[in-house]
């Protein structure tokens, strides 16, 4: 069952990273500025993130299988609308539909793991799922680049729509809800109680540190791999679309290796937060290097190194799971996932705006985008360290940054 759910997650990974490969043709066909391109990429993530609480509520009340099966057909509809429209506004509508349809994809996996596996295996199993989900990013590397170069970006979306149908059918066939225990239906929360439960998370002091890091951590990777990598390699360094796709595959493979590696090395509650703090600052430093524009080979190596390091993000899921009682785990993961993807939308919009401003000022647009990402990562790490920590987290953050 988890493998079938992971298939849906892999498709969502493909959709959120496809902009990097489609960007050159989209910019040419619709005459898009960097800011408009950022809005295109951000629309998926805004819709995805904004629906997380609703999807978490649906899973609490109606189950993982039902929620995914109802939402995922919107992904197929959005793909086909995007593939056949000639208007940028409708293209954005299509991206929003894809984002809504994909919204339960990874949340379904995390809630399934939290309910079906013991706490000590949560980080390792989540890391494995994140790694397998990276197959979707492989599809948006060389294979999709070849298809787009040979046909058009529209053919790429049609191909993803077909794969989405197959993923939905696999969930229909293999995923089942657990048997309802006697009396369980009578004890189920009302919608109002569930919404109040989500609101109660914001009253927990350490929630704000968790959200501060969530908003920037995943956003940095998706902004690189899913938006700026293709334009950087094609426009700045003159690589072909297929060559850019080859680099995307290498970055995707690195990002698949990282989560299982860090999940296996999970240091536990006492020092996990120190790892998160240090790895986020190291990520900021790598983006600062990318902003220097030291050449294609240098940027490719730095991107691959960062993608390996990005695997530390799996520790955030374990941190969230340990930070709240079991009764709040599902909704805490929903709120956390919402922050991840709203952060992607914010970062992609903001980097698009700074890149456009840089062009107007005669400055390198990609350098401006990467500096913005580096500053956002550093700010997220410092807030994570400075804001209240969960009880029992020990000396997790270096003492000068703790309250």
pLDDT tens digit sequence for 40-99: 988 998 998 888 888 878 887 788 899 999 999 999 999 999 999 999 999 999 999 999
Lowest mean pLDDT: which of 146-150, 190-194, 240-244, 258-262?
Answer: 190-194
Tell me the CATH number for domain 2-175+198-392. Answer: 1.20.1250.20
Instruction: Find tokens 């929003």 and name the residue.
Output: 96
**Which pLDDT does position 190 carry in this prediction?**
63
**Which pLDDT does position 260 carry in this prediction?**
84
Find the distance separating the first CA and the last CA of the chain, reported in whole Å: 43
Residue 346 vs residues 42, 62, 265, 349, 377: alpha-carbon distances, Å: 7, 31, 31, 5, 13
Residue 327 vs residues 27, 64, 156, 226, 331: alpha-carbon distances, Å: 47, 17, 42, 35, 9
**Which pLDDT does position 171 carry in this prediction?**
94
- Evaluated on CA atoms 294, 148, 12, 42, the torsion sign reads positive
Residue 168 clears pLDDT 50, i.e. is over it:
yes
Radius of gyration of the chain (CA): 20
**What token pair was written down for 218?**
């995943």
Residue 231 clears pLDDT 50, i.e. is over it:
yes
Instruction: Find tokens 């390198």 and name the residue.
Output: 364
**Which pLDDT does position 176 carry in this prediction?**
84
107 vs 91: CA distance, rounded Å = 26
> 10-25: string of b/e by CB count within 10 Å (b at 16+)?
bbbbbbbbbbbbbbbb
**What token pair was written down for 312?**
């530390």
Structure confidence at residue 206 as a pLDDT band (50, 70, 90) = very high
400 vs 403: CA distance, rounded Å = 8
**Among residues of the chain, what percentage have pLDDT more than 70?**
93
What is the residue extent of each domain of the chain? Answer: 2-175+198-392
Per-residue pLDDT tens digits for 62-75: 888 999 999 999 99
**Which pLDDT does position 180 carry in this prediction?**
55
Q: Nearest Cα to 187, choosing from 34, 55, 61, 282?
A: 61
**Which pLDDT does position 182 carry in this prediction?**
47
Output helix, strand, coil percentages for the chain, rounded to the nearest 5.
Answer: 85, 0, 15
User: Taking a C-beta distance cutoff of 8 angstroms, is the pair 295, 169 a contact?
Assistant: no
Structure confidence at residue 179 as a pLDDT band (50, 70, 90) = low
Q: Nearest Cα to 313, choosing from 345, 288, 341, 279?
A: 279
CA atoms within 13 A on the CB side of 47: 23
Per-residue pLDDT tens digits for 384-403: 999 999 976 554 565 545 54
**Which pLDDT does position 58 carry in this prediction?**
83
Q: What integer is the mean pLDDT of 266-288?
A: 94
**Which pLDDT does position 396 carry in this prediction?**
52
Per-residue pLDDT tens digits for 298-311: 999 999 999 999 99
Q: Nearest Cα to 251, choosing from 304, 181, 296?
A: 304
255 vs 251: CA distance, rounded Å = 6
Q: Nearest Cα to 352, choosing from 36, 58, 102?
A: 36
Find the farthest-apart pair of alpha carbons in the chain and give their distance in angstroms, rounded.
Answer: 68
**What token pair was written down for 351?**
């980097």
Indicate the average pLDDT of the chain: 88
- Cβ atoms within 10 Å of 384's Cβ, excluding its own: 28
**Which pLDDT does position 189 carry in this prediction?**
61
């Amino acid at each position: 069952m988890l493998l079938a759910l992971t298939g849906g997650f892999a498709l969502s990974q493909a959709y959120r990273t496809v902009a990097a490969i489609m960007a050159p043709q989209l910019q040419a066909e619709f005459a898009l500025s960097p800011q408009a391109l950022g809005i295109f990429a951000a629309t998926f993530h805004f819709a995805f993130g904004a629906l997380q609480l609703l999807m978490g509520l649906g899973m609490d009340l109606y189950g993982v299988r039902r929620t995914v099966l109802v939402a995922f057909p919107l992904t197929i509809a959005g793909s086909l609308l995007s593939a056949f429209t000639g208007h940028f506004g409708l293209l954005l509508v299509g991206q929003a539909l894809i984002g809504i349809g994909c919204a339960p994809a990874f949340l379904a996996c995390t809630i399934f793991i939290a309910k079906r596996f013991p706490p000590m295996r949560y980080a390792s199993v989540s890391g494995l799922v994140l790694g397998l989900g990276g197959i979707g990013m492989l599809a948006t590397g060389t294979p999709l680049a070849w298809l787009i170069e040979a046909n058009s970006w529209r053919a790429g979306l049609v191909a993803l729509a077909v794969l989405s149908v197959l993923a939905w059918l696999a969930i229909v066939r293999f995923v089942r809800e657990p048997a309802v225990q006697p009396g369980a239906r009578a004890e189920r929360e009302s919608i109002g109680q569930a919404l109040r439960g989500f609101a109660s998370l914001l009253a927990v002091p350490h929630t704000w540190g968790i959200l501060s890091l969530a908003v920037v951590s995943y956003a940095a990777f998706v902004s690189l791999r899913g938006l700026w990598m293709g334009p950087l390699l094609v426009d700045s360094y003159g690589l072909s679309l297929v060559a850019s796709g080859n680099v995307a595959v290498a970055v995707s493979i690195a990002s698949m290796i990282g989560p299982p590696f860090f999940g296996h090395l999970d240091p536990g509650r006492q020092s996990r937060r120190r790892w998160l703090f240090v790895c986020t600052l190291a990520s900021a430093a790598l983006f600062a290097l990318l902003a220097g524009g030291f050449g294609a080979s240098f940027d490719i190596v730095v991107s691959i190194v960062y993608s390996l390091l990005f695997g530390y993000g799996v520790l955030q899921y374990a941190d969230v799971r340990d930070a709240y009682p079991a009764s709040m785990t599902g909704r805490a993961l929903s709120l956390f996932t919402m922050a991840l993807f709203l952060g992607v939308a914010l970062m992609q919009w903001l980097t698009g705006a700074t890149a456009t401003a840089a062009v107007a000022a005669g400055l390198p647009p990609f350098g401006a985008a990467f500096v913005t990402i580096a500053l956002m990562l550093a700010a997220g790490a410092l807030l994570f360290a400075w804001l209240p920590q969960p009880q029992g987290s020990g000396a997790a953050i270096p003492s000068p940054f703790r309250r």
